């Protein structure tokens, strides 16, 4: 290996190590702070808790209603991800495998959504959802999540579907299978690595969404708030009397599900990205 290549590899490893530290340390600090008292957090922020206690987790779950917000987030993200994957995979398959007038126009219309900042659409989005009678409802939030997630889903899956062999689909068509049967029974199983990868990306992206819930779920329906809204409310409502350990416990409850999903499906995500790149 040349000296320049070794130097480049060394720099890349250093950059990755720095990036890992900047990501991991705040997460670890958040978990440790959830076991401290208010005094310990401000007097010894980098130290370990003197007497670790789960009391703050109980206060976050019951008093701050994080449990209710967590359930709402699970319901909304599950429904939105399912709708995104169904509609996104169908649209991507048609755009990738069928030639028809307007195909490229529709594809680039989807892709253009990737470069459109969501905050620019918040005001018209609010009025559209209100005119549909879906403001302050989980249904309205789910539909907006689906629309918000479709551009990247279609962009990713269309590229993946193009790599699948034509011979298998043609054989199934000759055997009498309909286009719908080919899609659900043949092509979707073959695209499983890509589907798993984009599903995880959508789950994490929708789970961490804050702007859209703030706009579409007002303070009048606090019982329908999602987790990000609930945590923001905890951090701002109490002022100087804020229960910081409970706040960090609530943040930990937000991090744990997303972290668990990634850890469980880590290999599938890497396999999906690698397969798409190699093909």
In a domain, 78, yes or no: yes
Residue 191 is classified by DSSP as: T
Residue 113 DSSP SS3: helix
pLDDT along the chain (279 residues), means of 10: 73 87 89 87 83 83 84 95 95 92 91 85 91 94 94 91 84 85 88 87 90 90 89 67 80 84 72 54
pLDDT value for 127: 94
* The length of the chain, given as a count of residues: 279
pLDDT value for 273: 58
In a domain, 141, yes or no: yes
pLDDT value for 237: 61
In a domain, 56, yes or no: no
In a domain, 158, yes or no: yes
In a domain, 6, yes or no: no
Q: Is the dihedral of CA 30, 31, 36, 38 positive or negative?
A: positive
Domain with residue 256: its CATH number is 1.10.3720.10
In a domain, 17, yes or no: no
Torsion over CA of 155, 163, 273 and 7, rounded to 10 degrees? -110
The structure's pTM equals: 0.83
Torsion over CA of 111, 84, 66 and 28, rounded to 10 degrees? -60
pLDDT value for 269: 65
Q: Do residues 7 and 222 touch, judged by C-beta distance below 8 A?
A: no
Residue 37 DSSP SS3: coil
In a domain, 37, yes or no: no
Q: What is the 3-state secondary structure (H, E, C) of 45-75?
A: CCCCCCCCCCHHHHHHHHHCCHHHHHHHHHH
Q: Rounded to an integer, what distance in angstroms lies between the CA atom of residue 143 and that of residue 84?
A: 9
Q: Rounded to an integer, what distance in angstroms lies between the CA atom of residue 203 and that of residue 152?
A: 13
Domain count of the fold of the chain: 1
Query: Hey, what are 187's tokens?
Result: 């092509």
pLDDT value for 278: 46
In a domain, 13, yes or no: no
> CB atoms < 10 A from the CB of 234, how many?
25
Range of the domain at 267: 67-278
């Amino acid at each position: 290996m040349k000296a320049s290549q070794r130097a480049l590899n060394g720099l890349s490893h250093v950059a990755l190590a720095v990036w890992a530290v900047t990501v991991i340390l705040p997460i670890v600090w958040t978990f440790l702070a959830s076991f401290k008292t208010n005094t310990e957090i401000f007097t010894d922020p980098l130290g370990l808790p003197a007497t670790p206690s789960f009391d703050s987790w109980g206060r976050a779950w019951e008093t701050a209603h994080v449990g209710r917000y967590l359930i709402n987030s699970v319901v909304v993200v599950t429904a939105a991800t399912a709708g995104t994957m169904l509609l996104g995979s169908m649209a991507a398959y048609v755009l990738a495998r069928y030639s028809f007038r307007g195909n490229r126009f529709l594809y680039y219309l989807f892709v253009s959504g990737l470069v459109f900042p969501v905050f620019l659409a918040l005001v018209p989005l609010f009025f559209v959802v209100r005119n549909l009678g879906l403001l302050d409802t989980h249904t309205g939030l789910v539909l907006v999540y689906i629309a918000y997630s479709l551009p990247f889903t279609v962009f990713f899956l269309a590229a993946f579907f193009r790599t699948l062999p034509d011979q298998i689909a043609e054989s199934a068509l000759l055997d009498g299978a309909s286009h719908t049967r080919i899609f659900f029974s043949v092509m979707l199983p073959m695209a499983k690595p890509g589907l798993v990868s984009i599903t995880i990306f959508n789950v994490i992206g929708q789970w961490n969404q804050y702007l859209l819930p703030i706009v579409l779920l007002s303070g009048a329906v606090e019982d329908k708030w999602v987790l990000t809204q609930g945590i923001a409310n905890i951090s701002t409502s109490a002022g100087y009397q804020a229960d910081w350990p409970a706040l960090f416990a609530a943040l930990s409850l937000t991090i744990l599900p997303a972290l668990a999903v990634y850890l469980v499906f880590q290999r599938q995500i890497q396999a999906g990205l690698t397969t798409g790149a190699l093909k």
